[in-house]
Amino acid sequence: MTTSISVKNLSKSYVLNHQVDHAGSYVSLRDVIVQRTKNLLSLSKQPKSTAYKETETFWALDGLSFDISQGERVGIIGRNGAGKSTLLKVISRITAPTKGQLSITGRVASLLEVGTGFHPELTGRENIYLNGAVLGMSRRDIKGKFDEIVAFAEVERFLDTPVKRYSSGMYMRLAFSVAAHLEPDILVVDEVLAVGDAAFQKKCLGKMRDVGHDGRTVLFVSHNMGAISEFCNRAILLEQGKVFSDGSPSEIIALYSGKEFNNGTGLLEIEDDGSKESCITRISMSGDDNKVKSYFDLMESISIDIDYIVREKLPELQLTIILSKDGLDLFQAFDNDMRDEIEVTNKGKYRSRYSIPRMTLKEGVYTVKVLQGLPHKLIQEVKEELVFEVSSNQINLLRKSFRHDRVGCLISPGHWMREENYE
């Protein structure tokens, strides 16, 4: 089979500068501003600062080697900072590797982040032709695909409007449609698909699958394990710029959530940008031992803790958890479903817990997605999902109906009762 991408000992480094004082501690921007203000206000001559610059070499990619064959649909997964986006930028020729070899056969179309590849002053129509020209296509070829691109992106009304006036969703829809329809040999897609709504994401996954079935190669970075499982036929797990494992999606997702790779993790820290009326800052999972982890026995309960900051009085703030397996949403749970009356949430810091009783989930790999909002307004959708695994270490499932190879993802939520000699 023809090799589309060949990576040999590929590495990418960046030089980080730190300002350090004489004691060896890092100097923050706040420290610099305060000191300069003191210098301006002081009537006496201040001694010169003893701070100096210290450099650090950070290897975003460190000795990657793998080959991707024509027609493969490969998911790239890993924690934040593992090197996923850097790898796609190197493959897309946006940045050059520091060392190593990269061989690519065919044309590459990339969708790495909202804004990449479009000229903001040009209209949607003009950007379609511009992107096609960059891919080496003739005007006739682009024109032949034009109506299909516009219909897929659903931006007909705004086709002659400069794209700088598009919403992020419109921008992303058109950018994806252009990248997928102009017949690249290799399609590279980053987490940017999270910008679209659920219906469009499903539409994009279907289109990427069609691209793969046409014999073209797709590289897909996502924190959505359901999408990776549903779409990809291969997955590569990165950790600290290295290939941790390479195999089938089911194997790699199980490894990603298991004890060997996670070593106790089951935690998401979310940066608080300060602009939302309420912001989720931390999500963690724990079992009966109250330790944060992502590997559970089906005989123990599972708790999901959500920390959030509320900055203003909200009439009916609600948290939502969506539990999924293999791309299928199993259930959605709102934290205010059981309340009889509307409750007002005052300013402050909160922690809410959702508990899944023992013997509820069968063996397998699951994902948790968390959102918050008001009844008619989405405030925040946490982009990254928590992945966890349920297995059985305490009971023998061989003769049980809820072993993993039987139908369904949940153990029976009801209870059987038998009456003998009933008339």
Structural domains of the chain ordered from first start? 9-58 (no CATH), 63-261 (3.40.50.300), 267-391 (2.70.50.60)
Q: Is the dihedral of CA 201, 205, 210, 212 positive or negative?
A: positive
CB 226 within 8 A of CB 409: no
Output the 3-class SS for 225-270. HHHHHHHCCEEEEEECCEEEEEECHHHHHHHHHCHHHHCCCCEEEC
Q: How many of the other CB atoms lie within 10 Å of CB of 203?
A: 17
Cβ-Cβ contacts under 8 Å for 72 (sequence gap 6 or more)? 4, 212, 217, 218, 233, 234
Q: Report whether pLDDT(385) > 70.
A: yes
Radius of gyration for the alpha carbons in the chain, expressed in angstroms and rounded: 25
Of 255, 177, 188, 246, nearest in space to 216 by CA: 188
Q: In one letter, which amino acid is 273?
A: D
N-term to C-term CA, the chain: 69
Instruction: Express each pLDDT in 396-421 by its tens digit.
Output: 555 566 666 667 778 877 777 778 87
| Listed range (49-63, 204-218, 320-334) with the worst mean pLDDT | 49-63
3-state helix, strand, coil in the chain (%, to 5): 25, 35, 40
**pLDDT mean over 264-290:** 87
Helix or strand or coil: residue 329? strand
Task: Give the pLDDT band (50/70/90) at residue 289.
Answer: confident
Of 260, 253, 286, nearest in space to 355 by CA: 286
| Residue owning tokens 């829809």 | 173
Q: Which two tokens stand for residue 367?
A: 């994902």
Task: Give the pLDDT band (50/70/90) at residue 195.
Answer: low
Residue 192 to residue 167: CA distance in whole angstroms: 14
> Parallel, antiparallel, or unpaired for β 295-297 and 386-391?
parallel
Residue 207, φ and ψ in degrees, nearest 5: -65, -40
CB 227 within 8 A of CB 327: yes
Q: What is the pLDDT of residue 263?
A: 58
Task: Give the pLDDT band (50/70/90) at residue 283.
Answer: very high
Cβ-Cβ contacts under 8 Å for 198 (sequence gap 6 or more)? none
Kindly report the average pLDDT of the chain as a whole number: 82
Of 5, 72, 76, 62, nearest in space to 253 by CA: 76
Q: Is the dihedral of CA 283, 269, 221, 239 positive or negative?
A: negative
Q: Report whether pLDDT(34) > 80.
A: no
